[in-house]
Amino acid sequence: ISRTTNTTTITRITTATTTTTTTTTDQPLQTTTTTTTTTKTTITTTTTTTTTTTTTTATTATTTTTTTTTTATTTTTTTN
């Protein structure tokens, strides 16, 4: 029996920044400007595990190969 396991991990980081500016005038010569910046970060991690098992039967000289693939994805989003 021969068994081979390969694991691949891919991490993707996406950042989106939104800036909002609000200007308020209460009276002449009195202006207030407010700027708000929001940053949203999304981290996506995908792990793929592939296991290949090869079995050879000596009496019949038969080789059987079985491949199993498992994929797990995790997403984390933070907003500041």
Q: What is the pLDDT of residues 27-57, one digit of tens each?
A: 777 899 999 999 999 999 999 999 999 988 8
Structural domain spans, the chain: 1-10+39-80
- The runs of H, that is alpha helices, within 1-80 are none
Q: What is the mean pLDDT of residues 58-70?
A: 88
Rounded to the nearest 10 degrees, how much is the dihedral formed by the CA atoms of 58, 62, 63, 66?
Answer: -120
Q: How many CB atoms lie within 10 A of CB 60?
A: 7
How much is the pLDDT for 26? Answer: 84
